[in-house]
């Protein structure tokens, strides 16, 4: 019998079916296809962060976060140049990813619960374990952040740094005056001009910002680390294949360092009889194909970009201007916490 109730049931069943047909299947492989058709990876990066993401006079990008984008292009196209860099401010970065303006965000961004669960993004892998610190004038003679009672603190709006700062001062019963800025350059300039006595941010950034002050040697990063800032790339939720490619690109670089495979030893590795090296370089199994890439995907990454240790040292390590010690970003076999799951 045709009743209004039945008609409603049929209509809602049709609507449901329609939406299932129209919606892209969860976990579907759209991003890689789009990238291959376009011929470039579109990578969101920091407009200017020494050691992590900077542009030279010719417009060429380099840095630790930039190298992750180059590694992706190497894995997909065997050409680290096939990247279109989109400079994004802190305020723009997450919306740009949600709004499909970029394929991946590789920009000193912390892995947090709300960015994954709330914003429907996926964090791929921790490329740099960081923590929040404080930059102060040497003349202040402060040995610890606990001596900062009553300080005026410059910080950038919309960052985890702003939130941690409030937690830390409240928890330690310290008073402070908050001075917020919409971008990092303004926060650094205000600190340099004496508009606040403390600059707070991820410690890696403080090392970089210190070098851009009028007299870097007059400033020190205090030893206190007040938060966990696991930094690394984000992708949009819903494309498992692309998430895996970004994740395993980082893990390939870490595994390469652990296996002793570098730009220098790659040719030997290609001839190796060792089972784990053979799986890595693709002379055994078909791991690349399982992600929609070629089986020499990891070889391409190492040839064009290098292993994790090479990337770290070149951009931010003790051989670079920033001179950051490997510290907790050493391999787990060396007392650090950089640890990659096995390729097998
Ligand atoms: N890791 C923190 C902070 C990241 C961040 O955006 N830091 C600022 C502070 S220097 C920055 O990069 N600013 C540069 C800009 O907005 O262009 C987060 O994910 O919230």
**Predicted confidence (pLDDT) per residue in 91-147, tens digit:** 999 999 999 999 999 999 999 999 999 999 999 999 999 999 999 999 999 999 999
Predicted local distance difference test score (pLDDT) of residue 3 = 47
Give the tokens for residue 212: 């851009």
Residue appearing with tokens 């201007």: 321
Q: What is the pLDDT of residue 305?
A: 98
Nearest CA to ligand 1 atom 6: 90
pLDDT score, position 260? 98
Enumerate the β-bridge partners of residue 129: 230
Ligand 1 site residues (CB inside 6 A) read 46-47, 49, 89-90, 108-110, 156, 159-161, 183-184, 201-202, 205, 229, 231
192, burial (CB in 10 Å: exposed 0-12, middle 13-18, buried 19+): middle
Contacts of 195 (CB under 8 A, 6+ apart): 152, 154, 179
| Index of the ligand 1 atom closest to the CA of residue 229 | 1
Which residue is it, tokens 């890595």? 280
**CA within 13 Å, CB half, 278:** 8
- Which of the residues in the chain have pLDDT under 70? 1-29
111 alpha carbon – ligand 1 mean position (Å): 13
Rounded to the nearest whole angstrom, what is the distance from the C-alpha of residue 339 to the centroid of ligand 1? 25
In this structure, the number of other CB atoms found within 10 A of the CB of residue 236 comes to 21
Query: Ligand 1 center to residue 110 CA distance, Å?
Result: 9
Distance of CA 61 to the CA centre of its chain: 16
pTM of the model: 0.91
Whose C-alpha lies nearest to ligand 1, atom 3?
159
Residue 230 has φ and ψ, to the nearest 5°, of -75, 115
d(CA 20, CA 16): 6
Q: Please give the pLDDT value at position 40.
A: 98
């Amino acid at each position: 019998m045709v009743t209004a109730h039945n008609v409603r049931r049929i209509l809602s069943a049709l609507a449901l079916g329609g939406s299932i047909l129209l919606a892209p299947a969860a976990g579907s492989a759209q991003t890689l296809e789009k990238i291959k058709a376009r011929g470039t990876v579109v990578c969101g990066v920091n407009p200017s962060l020494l050691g992590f993401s900077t542009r030279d006079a010719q417009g060429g990008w380099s840095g630790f976060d930039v190298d992750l984008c180059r590694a992706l292009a190497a894995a997909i196209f065997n050409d680290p140049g096939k990247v279109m860099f989109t400079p994004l401010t802190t305020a723009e970065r997450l919306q740009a990813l949600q709004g499909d303006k970029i394929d991946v965000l590789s920009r000193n961004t912390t892995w947090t619960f709300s960015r994954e669960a709330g914003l429907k993004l996926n964090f791929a892998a921790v490329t740099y374990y960081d923590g929040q610190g404080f930059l102060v004038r040497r003349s202040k003679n402060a040995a610890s952040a606990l001596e900062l009672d009553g300080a005026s603190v410059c910080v950038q709006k919309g960052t985890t740094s702003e939130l941690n700062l409030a937690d830390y001062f409240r928890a330690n019963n310290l008073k402070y005056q908050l001075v917020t800025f919409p971008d990092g350059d303004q926060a650094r300039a205000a600190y340099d001009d004496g508009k606040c006595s403390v600059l707070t941010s991820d410690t890696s950034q403080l090392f970089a910002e210190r070098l851009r002050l009028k007299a870097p040697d007059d400033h020190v990063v205090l030893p206190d680390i007040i938060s966990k800032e696991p930094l690394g790339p984000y992708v949009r939720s819903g494309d498992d294949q692309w998430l895996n490619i970004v994740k395993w690109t980082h893990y390939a670089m870490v595994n390469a360092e652990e296996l002793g495979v570098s730009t220098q030893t790659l040719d030997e590795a290609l001839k190796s009889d060792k089972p784990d090296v053979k799986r890595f370089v693709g002379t055994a199994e078909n791991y690349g194909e399982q992600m929609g890439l070629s089986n020499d995907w990891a070889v391409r990454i190492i040839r064009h970009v290098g292993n994790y240790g090479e990337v770290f040292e070149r951009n931010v390590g003790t051989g670079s201007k920033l001179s950051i010690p490997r510290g907790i970003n050493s391999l787990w076999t060396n007392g650090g916490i950089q640890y990659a799951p096995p390729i097998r």
